[in-house]
Structure 1
Amino acid sequence: MLKYKSISFVGTEKNTGKTETLNYVLSRLCSFSNTVVGITSIGIDGEKTDQVTKTSKPEIRIYPNTIFATSELLYPQKQITSNILALSSRSTALGKLVYAQAISSGKVVLAGASNTVWLKEVIGDIKNFGADIVLVDGALSRMSFGSPSITEAMILSTGAALSFNMKTLVRKTSFIYRMTQLKAIESNLAEKLLEIENGIYSIDENNNIIDLEIPSILMIDKHKEKLTSDITKIFISGIITDKLIQFLKTQKNIKDIELIIRDFTRVFCTPENISSYLEKGGKLKVVQPTNLIAITINPTSPSGYNLNSDKLIEELRKEIPLPIYNIKEI
């Protein structure tokens, strides 16, 4: 993992073992005496109780010399001794970001940048303070604000919390994996699109970006006339839905259509609908590609239901050519 300078940790659902995976990787990296690890979060993490299921969850534990970024409101909740390195000029909903370096080991609550561009800056700041590698704690449910694809690598956690049914769990996880493999657009265009946070745009043959003035993808029915047949390259800054894909599938020029999204987390469509769109010749590309390097599983759901761990890993490996581990058995 040391060949990567930044790694994000993402869960397919809450309670799939994402925080346990991050804690394991963090502890291993910190065991190397000459490695300085940095850590931050997309959203808030490290809390004792899951805010949705109200079940207990692992806290984030950091070690001496770890450089971390969290909000000034949450910084006092740390259970460690640390030195403040800097304070950000801009604020999150929980105040400015505090950059600090741990002196002792202990638990922290993290809150990080609220959008992708800022997250990239925060990762850079932590590196400038001396971190050799930066870990980013995230979750798919938070990705409409900050993208985990901004990091050099990603580790995905999945498990029984996503589905009690093993076939469904494998199908959903396999679909997410396939979305992480979407091809990226050219870098010059990507740099321009990365700065756009809202709206729907067409892109002409000279890579000029034209605002279609469609307020939301949810209002696509009222603005279909703006997606005329001469528009073949479309950028959606937010999510894509089944309604949009169904509309594009009806277009006579579907084989010429290239739909661009920010990253794989913007896909809120059924696997069947996306597959049908691609089979008809439609193209789907991303601004930020994802380098998924491993998957961890948690076979136990928050309600206590257990899947067979070995069987789950076996079935996932049939669909996904990546290292897959049971985080509770590492």
Structure 2
Amino acid sequence: MSHTAMLAPTRPTPPAVRPSPLWASVQALQLRTVAVMGMTKNTGKTVSLNHLLAQAHQAHVAVGLTSIGRDGEERDQVFSIPKPPVMVTPGCLVATARDTLLRAKVRTRLLGGTGIESPMGEVVLVKALDGGEMEVAGASRSHDQHRVIALLRQCGAELVLLDGALGRSHHASPAIADGVVLATGAAIGGGVQDVLRKTRDRLAILGIAQADEALATQVAPAFDCGGVGAWDAEGHPLWIEAVATLNAAPRLLQLMGTPVRTIAVSGAVARRLWMALSTLLQAHPGLTLVVADGTKLFIDAVDLAQFERQGGHVCALRAIRMAGITLNPFSPFGGSFDAHEFLAEARSAWPEHVVSDVLLQP
């Protein structure tokens, strides 16, 4: 026997991570950037993120990770309850604020800076040299996220995972991520049917259909200038201006006497602008509203349904691709569900989506 063999005893091979329906969906859709967002806190977003990290590692897919907010801290910053840590895998590329590295429980190698500052220092790029717990805090602005994603890809990431933040869904926009995983669960409150209803309402907003090619071409000038536009039934422009959407409501109401048929809004649609659009719909049946994507609609599902019942149409320049919905039957506030029953009810409610509890067998 050689000295080499004597010095290198065999080690048991760790069990393989079983490929899951969620991971299969990410791969089938050929997604390169996936945003993981939660309906609210404690709905299992971090557990879902860790699942994707483990699945990517098992599949030998080079993965990059960053966050729109801050994740991986030991306790929830709002409710001060224990949180599951972010578990990076060996070789994972991470874009995070420099100060978070002081608390990392893994060895890392610094790859470079980004020039993007955060309250916890510059967002830097590191490579995890082993697996373990890590706090992640990334860039908060959209244009900075684009830069971080590009840098992670330059470092070799085939798949970039974006960890979302409560109440901030712009990272799920197709302009940033080409796929979304939505985490929902008992922490929303109420019974199973209440959680399903609230999640269904969120899906209705995020899942508005994509405009056809002809309509997308027609409204492109409004999005190109970052403003608002209006067109008549023949597709002739009535008004296109690089006006902030917060200030667009009074200008749109001036179109009451014109033959407007299509409105395009490049920015956020909040309550005041939505009321102006609803008023226009009453004067112009069949009005079509085109927004950038579902993350720009800051309205309730009931508002959207009422608009469509009155003959209006709402569509997106680019539709959001839902890679999957994950479930957390546990709530730290009480009122947890039976995991198997919750999964069965959710799969029945959303047969068009991949629905999974990543802690249960597929």
Which band: TM-score by shorter chain?
0.7 to 0.9
CA contact (8 A) 2:173 2:294 kept: no
Q: Percent identity?
A: 25
CA contact (8 A) 2:116 2:139 kept: no
Match of 1:169 in 2: 195
Q: Give the deviation of 1:215 after TM superposition.
A: 4.0
Match of 1:259 in 2: 289
Deviation per CA, 1:145-202: give whole Å up to 9, x if none. Answer: x445322221111011112222221111112222232123456666973884xxx623
Deviation per CA, 1:88-129: give whole Å up to 9, x if none. Answer: 123234332201111122221112222233323322221111
Change (3 A) 1:129 1:191: farther
Match of 1:37 in 2: 63
Q: Give the deviation of 1:237 after TM superposition.
A: 1.4
Match of 2:342 in 1: 312
Name the CA distance, whole Å, in 2 between partners of 1:203 and 1:22. Answer: 41
Pair 1:268 & 2:294 matched? no
CA contact (8 A) 1:254 1:280 kept: no
CA contact (8 A) 1:140 1:265 kept: no
Match of 1:249 in 2: 278
Which secondary structure does the structure 2 equivalent of 1:142 belong to?
A: coil
Which secondary structure does the structure 1 equivalent of 2:342 belong to?
A: helix
Q: Give unpaired runs (5+ residues) of structure 1.
A: none
Match of 1:141 in 2: 167
Name the CA distance, whole Å, in 2 between partners of 1:214 and 1:181. Answer: 22
Change (3 A) 1:213 1:80: closer
Name the CA distance, whole Å, in 1 between partners of 2:254 and 2:139. Answer: 34
Pair 1:16 & 2:43 matched? yes
- Greater Cα shift, 49-58 or 160-169: 160-169
Which secondary structure does the structure 2 equivalent of 1:295 belong to?
A: strand
Pair 1:51 & 2:80 matched? no
Name the CA distance, whole Å, in 2 between partners of 1:263 and 1:177. Answer: 12
Change (3 A) 1:250 1:127: same
Question: Which of 140, 152, 166 is the matching residue for 1:126?
Answer: 152
Name the CA distance, whole Å, in 2 between partners of 1:66 and 1:233. Answer: 44
Displaced runs of 4+ in structure 1, greater than 6 A? none
CA contact (8 A) 1:201 1:209 kept: yes
CA contact (8 A) 1:147 1:263 kept: no
Match of 2:34 in 1: 7
Change (3 A) 1:256 1:55: same
CA contact (8 A) 2:221 2:240 kept: no
Name the CA distance, whole Å, in 2 between partners of 1:148 and 1:39. Answer: 17
CA contact (8 A) 1:248 1:254 kept: no
Taking structure 2 as the reference length, what is the TM-score of the superposition?
A: 0.78
CA contact (8 A) 1:203 1:210 kept: no
Match of 2:100 in 1: 74
Change (3 A) 1:55 1:214: same
CA contact (8 A) 2:181 2:326 kept: yes
Larger Rg: 2
Name the CA distance, whole Å, in 1 between partners of 2:199 and 2:111. Answer: 39
Match of 1:301 in 2: 331
The amino acid of 1:120's aligned partner reads H
Q: Give unpaired runs (5+ residues) of structure 2.
A: 1-25
1:145-224 residue pairs with structure 2 within 5 A? Answer: 146-149=171-174, 150-185=176-211, 193=223, 196=226, 201-204=228-231, 205=235, 209-212=240-243, 215=246, 220=249
Which secondary structure does the structure 2 equivalent of 1:51 belong to?
A: coil
CA contact (8 A) 2:205 2:301 kept: no
Change (3 A) 1:171 1:244: farther
CA contact (8 A) 2:114 2:148 kept: no
Name the CA distance, whole Å, in 1 between partners of 2:188 and 2:79. Answer: 13
- Superposition RMSD on alpha carbons, in Å? 2.8
